[in-house]
Each structure stands twice: as C-alpha cells, then as structure tokens.
Chain A
Amino acid sequence: IVMTQSPLSLPVTPGEPASISCRSSQSLLHGSGNNYVDWYLQKPGQSPQVLIYLGSNRASGVPDRFSGSGSGTDFTLKISRVEAEDVGVYYCMQTLQTPLTFGGGTKVEIK
C-alpha cells in the first residue's frame, strides 16, 4: 500500500492552524470499522513519536490540538493552533497489512 502525503513542506505561523493530507493506494478501512492509519511526528534529531492511531484516536499524552480524521483512502492530520514545539517531520503510516508503509513525510517549520 502506497501512502502519499501533501504538502512536502508546510511553513506555519505560531497560533495558526495547520493541516496535512495523506492518501493511501488502497482502502485502510477494516471490517471492524476502524481505519488502520497512524500519524507520527519526528522532531529534529529524535526518533518518531505517535500522535494519532486508528485514524482519529489521540495517543496517551498527546495534546488535544492534534486531531486526525478521514476514512477509506483519504486522511487528514490537523493542528488547531501550531506551537513552536510542533516543528519536525510528520508521517502517516498504515498498519492494515504488511509490509507496513509510511508516507513520504511533511516537514513543518515555523515561518
């Protein structure tokens, strides 16, 4: 399953919203009704960390300014008000089937 993200780069102003898109080449909707897509943030010099799992569930400890939505093949990660600590590369990843695959990444930087 190919995961395609856009945009590649996203300059943002602190306090403003931001949105990242992820499209999959096959539906990630499982018979359970869950969409098997996660979102990760890789801050500069760090390992990735989970933000969202199963399309729209915030992982433990993740601020509520992060939200995930979408179903089937189209998914969106939204940040309601960007903070300086949110800079880094955001990846979507599908866990519906192996091989697990990641999107190409979206680099978020402060304007």
Chain B
Amino acid sequence: QLQLQASGPGVVKPSQSLSLTCTVSGGSVDRGAFHWNWIRQPAGKTLEWIGHIYASGPTTYNPSLKGRVTMSIDTSTNQFFLRLTSVTAADTAVYYCARLRIGTQPYIDSWGQGFLVTVSS
C-alpha cells in the first residue's frame, strides 16, 4: 500500500524559505500516470493546491503563490520536494503531499498524514 510522509522543519522564520520532503513508500514516484502534489490547509480553513510535479520533472504551480514555489523530484530516493520562499504568517498551515491519478480516473488516491509548518520568529 502506498504511503507518503512529509518531513522538514516545523518552524520557519518570516522571510525565510520553507523546505519539505515527501518520502514515498510502497510504490515508485517514477511510475507514469500520476502527478505528485503539495496541498496545504491553514487551521480551520479549506484546502489549497500548491502545485504538482511529474516523474520526468515538469511542474505546474498555483499562480496565487506568485513565483515563490519550486518543486523537484528524486526518483533514486523516491522523494519529491517543496520549497516556498519569503514565507509569512499566512503560510502557516498543515502541508500534505499527495498522489493524483491522471487519465481516466483523475482523483487524489493517496495523501500523506499532513505536516504542520508554523511561520514564527
């Protein structure tokens, strides 16, 4: 069974960069037919899609994040990564990594457990 686990610093200072790693087990990030996503959820609010990356590297980001996002993937370690620059308190949220099926059944079929990142000095 596929498992995704996000990890990284739980506290980031304002104006600095947030870096998270999603480690995938029970399946390969190198398989086609999937997009690897980052999604976040501020406390008590709805979900916000940050972006996704394909195994071969193409990325798509949410324009609302105004160029602050970079995603990458390492098929040798079965991980994908998120970097968000110039963070503010508004970036405090639970961050989920998730797998989106593409093709005939497009939906998110696996979510990580969520990782809380707090932006605070």
The answer on A and B forming one complex is yes
Residues of A that sit less than 8 Å from B by CB: 36, 38, 40, 47-50, 53-54, 57, 59, 91, 93, 95, 98-105
Pair A53/B106 contact, Cβ less than 8 Å: yes
Residues of B that sit less than 8 Å from A by CB: 37, 46-49, 60, 62-64, 96, 100, 105-109, 111-114
Q: A95-B100, A99-B64 are in contact. Are A53 and B46 (CB under 8 A)?
A: no
> Would you give the shortest CB distance from A27 to chain B, in whole angstroms?
16
Q: How many A-B residue pairs have CB under 8 A?
A: 52
By beta carbon, the residue of chain A nearest B47 is A102
Q: A95-B100, A98-B60, A99-B62 are in contact. Are A50 and B108 (CB under 8 A)?
A: yes
- With the chains together, A95 CA to B113 CA distance in Å? 22
Q: Offer 14 A-B interface pairs, CB within 8 angstroms, sorted by A.
A: A38-B107, A47-B96, A47-B111, A48-B96, A48-B108, A53-B107, A54-B106, A54-B107, A91-B46, A91-B47, A93-B108, A95-B107, A98-B60, A99-B64
Pair A38/B108 contact, Cβ less than 8 Å: yes
Cβ–Cβ < 8 Å partners of B111 in chain A: 47-49
* Chain A facing B: main interface SS: loop
- With the chains together, A49 CA to B96 CA distance in Å? 12
Pair A50/B107 contact, Cβ less than 8 Å: yes
6 nearest interchain CB pairs?
A53-B107, A47-B111, A100-B49, A99-B62, A102-B47, A38-B107
Pair B63/A99 contact, Cβ less than 8 Å: yes
Cβ–Cβ < 8 Å partners of B60 in chain A: 98
Q: From B47, B96, B100, B113, name the one whose CB has the most chain A CB atoms within 10 angstroms.
A: B47
Q: Could you say which of B46, B63, B114 contacts A105, with CB atoms under 8 Å apart?
A: B46
Cβ–Cβ < 8 Å partners of A100 in chain B: 37, 49, 100
Cβ–Cβ < 8 Å partners of B112 in chain A: 47
> Would you give the shortest CB distance from A107 to chain B, in whole angstroms?
10
Cβ–Cβ < 8 Å partners of A49 in chain B: 111
